[in-house]
Structure 1
Amino acid sequence: MTKKISLCAGLIIVLLFYGNAFSQVQDSTETRGEYPYVLPILGKKAYAKGYNLPLPFSASIGTIFNKQGIILEDFSMAFTQGNEEPDFDRLQPISDLIVFGPSEGRINTLFARVEAWVLPFLSVGGYFGKVWGEQTVTLTAPIEISSVTDIDGQYYGLNLVGVVPIGPVVLQADYSWAWTTNDRLDKPVLVNVAGARVIKRFVNKTNPERFWGVWAGAQSQKLDSETSGNIPLGEALGLDETALNDLDQRWETYTMSPEFTELPRFRQELIRRAYEEIIRPGLEGLAGTTVYYKFKKRLEFEWNMLIGGTYQFNRHWAARVEYGFLQSKQQLTFIATYNFGL
């Protein structure tokens, strides 16, 4: 029931953005004219002191692949037929018996981004993207169900990037806000991402505008915990009429097992109600039943390590790749950037 809800976990992902800090090096021996661009603020003073600033504006396109686990908690639901209003209180005691197992999202994104260096050490950017993929959700109680559904949505956001040259490296920190939405959610889901990287540059000896940059760092992602929305029951469970017959057989097997018969009587009754009023209604009107949901969610791992690299072909064009990892969490990003001045 939560497949299309957590595409933000992808969203996740969406926030591996960082500025062109690699060009901020000093060249005090070069004789230059006036700084020709409107940004960054204080750019003329920095330029006059010998700093080679990057071009102040950039436009990027990129793609991200993301895989990570999501923990679902404090689940509430209500069922409706037609235009009925959802009543969350009626099924709350039963909802407490629903236990979710591992939930994993495999998400792809395609995004466009613009950025401006407002100060020599600070950039501001905005982005918009498309997200798609699939979400696997496992229900472990009152009966085991695992379903996979498609994810299809959009995201948009803002990010800040700050850089500080320290000797032979550049220290970079960034913070992003991304909102992910689709037609199943009541409101966009916010994802906050903070990251830090230590960057080392290797300049081409014959062409100073061409260089490699490599980095390592860490990143933290945090989801807005409250999520609510609605989805057709058949789509949420990922079942058709044929598969539902098998579900009934598995339920009968479970009710005759020692795991069920050794439970206290009141517990058995609650579990029966959980199946008969939450799972079983879909057997009679799968297409016409809508489930409304509310729950809290968090990432299985909020932190991950980062390694990456960039190659700048000239002052205008650059390409980047970055890999994020921690146990089951993985994300891979490719970005192509065009830098320009105004």
Structure 2
Amino acid sequence: MRYNKLELENATHYSNNQLLINCTKQIDKLIKNKLCIMKQIFTIILLLIYTVTFSQTKNTEGYDWPYKMPIWGKKAAAKGYKIQLPYGLNVNYVYNRMDLEITRFNMLIGDDPNSKLNQLITKYVTLDNLHFNKTIAKANGMNLRADVWVLPFWNIYGIYSNNQGSTEVSLEPRWYNKDGNLVLSVPNVYSKVNFSSNSYGIGSTIVTPIYKTLFFSLDGNTTWSHSDLLTKRVVFGVISTRLGNRIRFNNGMMIALYIGAMYRGFLDHQNNNGSILMQKAMPNLSNKVTTAINQQIQANNDEIDQLDPNNPKDKIQIIILQNKNNSLKEIRTAFNSLMESQVNYSIRKDIINHWSVNFGFNYEINPELTFRGEFGKGSGNDFVLIGLQYRFGF
């Protein structure tokens, strides 16, 4: 049997279409199967967490759970599992201390970065010149937290806090000329700037028993802070883990003791911009730098007076000392202008050590009232939390 060219082309086109349709159906089927498998895996994980969460906190008899939350709460109570009241209000006092490293820094007077004064500032008031030694941030204040148990093992919460804090800075300014010769070195200068901030955030906690009264928890939250010194908000993240043990007393009270680790860090990693009066921020800096400059200029002039300008070696030394004095005068002009002005600044601070070891307790006086405390210690950072929690349901 013979086929003409048109019939062959039609047959080939039909065959290709059928192949494409079959491939599409197979791909759709494969995607649906994978989605179904992922859904089944997710459901199994939730069921496993659900089972583990209550397998170690079972009462001898079931009881009625009158509240809508948490999800699965009624079924868990009917099987005799003990769960917390669904809603909570917390009032906490929180103290934080962290050693910081300043990794970026620049200043500007006014809006023209190309002005003669700002060019001097850019040249002489830099991160390398100021030579920051130690920066310590401290903050303390009240923390309000509202939470809900969505599932018997999963809690979500919102945070609001008002803090008073300070940033302590020590630096040893030093300047070199273009030949690498030291022009000026200023002894340690200390400064402390106070600030206030408001923060709000969200977080989540997962808690699961491990064996009998032992439990494990994982907590994470993100906060956004606004300070009177900064024009942009600061985004901060915290992740912590806890391993603990519950001890129940004969009078019905219970205490949970735990130990864990906490990670804290900035999440936006951008420069913080602000405006400040330098004389207020660093009142000791101007006097120390100006005094050191004047003394060095006088010492250089005294040395120049002892040299013979007709001697070739002395002539070279005179030129070096005169160049140093010119640089010192420019530094003095830049600093005096800075200290008398409202300065726009941009700074980036990073936490030196993000980790700390934490330990704490939850003392349950009754199902509604719990007293809690947590303390953290790391290299260059401290953390304290003391608070009261009230739980309820409706």
- Within the candidate set 251, 273, 284, 1:228 is matched to 273
Query: Partner residue of 2:290?
Result: 248
Greater helix share, 1 or 2?
2
- Is 1:311 matched with 2:311? no
Size of the alignment, in residue pairs?
A: 305
- Is 1:26 matched with 2:57? yes
Deviations 1:147-167 (A, max 9, x none): 112121211111111111111
Query: Partner residue of 1:68?
Result: 98
- Within the candidate set 221, 230, 235, 1:176 is matched to 221
User: CA, structure 1 residues 37+146, in 2 after alignment: closer, same or farther (shift >3 Å)?
Assistant: same
Looking at both structures, which has the greater relative contact order when contacts are Cα pairs under 8 Å and sequence separation is at least 6? 1
Deviations 1:29-65 (A, max 9, x none): 21312x2112112222322332111001000111112
Query: Partner residue of 1:17?
Result: none
Query: Partner residue of 2:173?
Result: 141
Give yes or no for contact 1:24–1:52 (8 Å, CA) kept in 2: no
Query: Could you tell me how far 1:233 is from its partner in structure 2?
Result: 1.8
- Is 1:38 matched with 2:68? yes
User: CA, structure 1 residues 98+50, in 2 after alignment: closer, same or farther (shift >3 Å)?
Assistant: same
Whole-Å separation in 2 of the counterparts to 1:187 and 1:118: 33
- Structure 2 SS opposite 1:31: coil
Query: Partner residue of 1:6?
Result: none
Whole-Å separation in 1 of the counterparts to 2:242 and 2:330: 48
Query: Partner residue of 2:203?
Result: 159
Greater strand share, 1 or 2?
1
Query: Could you tell me how far 1:206 is from its partner in structure 2?
Result: 3.7
- Tell me the C-alpha RMSD between the 2 structures: 3.0
Whole-Å separation in 2 of the counterparts to 1:74 and 1:253: 30
Give yes or no for contact 2:62–2:78 (8 Å, CA) kept in 1: no
- Is 1:189 matched with 2:245? no
Whole-Å separation in 1 of the counterparts to 2:158 and 2:256: 23
Task: Report the identity percentage.
Answer: 22
Whole-Å separation in 1 of the counterparts to 2:250 and 2:333: 72
Whole-Å separation in 2 of the counterparts to 1:215 and 1:279: 52
Give yes or no for contact 1:56–1:339 (8 Å, CA) kept in 2: yes
Whole-Å separation in 2 of the counterparts to 1:270 and 1:177: 50
Query: Could you tell me how far 1:205 is from its partner in structure 2?
Result: 2.4
Query: Could you tell me how far 1:252 is from its partner in structure 2?
Result: 3.2
Query: Could you tell me how far 1:73 is from its partner in structure 2?
Result: 0.9
Query: Could you tell me how far 1:270 is from its partner in structure 2?
Result: 10
Query: 223-232 or 272-281: which moved more?
Result: 272-281
Give yes or no for contact 1:23–1:54 (8 Å, CA) kept in 2: no
Structure 2 residue identity aligned to 1:152: S
* Unmatched tracts of structure 2, length 5 or more: 1-52, 175-185, 304-316
Give yes or no for contact 1:40–1:120 (8 Å, CA) kept in 2: yes
Deviations 1:119-171 (A, max 9, x none): 11111111111111322112222344211121212111111111111113110
- Is 1:322 matched with 2:374? yes
Query: Partner residue of 1:280?
Result: 336
TM-score normalised to the size of structure 2?
Answer: 0.70
Give yes or no for contact 2:89–2:146 (8 Å, CA) kept in 1: yes
Query: Partner residue of 2:20?
Result: none
- Structure 2 SS opposite 1:51: coil
Structure 2 residue identity aligned to 1:184: L
Query: 290-299 or 173-182: which moved more?
Result: 290-299
Query: Partner residue of 2:144?
Result: 112
Query: Could you tell me how far 1:187 is from its partner in structure 2?
Result: 1.1
Query: Partner residue of 1:19?
Result: none
Whole-Å separation in 1 of the counterparts to 2:114 and 2:89: 47
Whole-Å separation in 2 of the counterparts to 1:53 and 1:230: 51
Structure 1 residue identity aligned to 2:202: L
Query: Could you tell me how far 1:296 is from its partner in structure 2?
Result: 2.0
Query: Could you tell me how far 1:218 is from its partner in structure 2?
Result: 0.4
Give yes or no for contact 1:24–1:53 (8 Å, CA) kept in 2: no
Give yes or no for contact 2:62–2:79 (8 Å, CA) kept in 1: no
Structure 2 residue identity aligned to 1:169: L
Query: Partner residue of 1:216?
Result: 259
TM-score normalised to the size of structure 1?
Answer: 0.80
Query: Could you tell me how far 1:271 is from its partner in structure 2?
Result: 6.6
Whole-Å separation in 1 of the counterparts to 2:283 and 2:231: 21
- Structure 1 SS opposite 2:77: helix
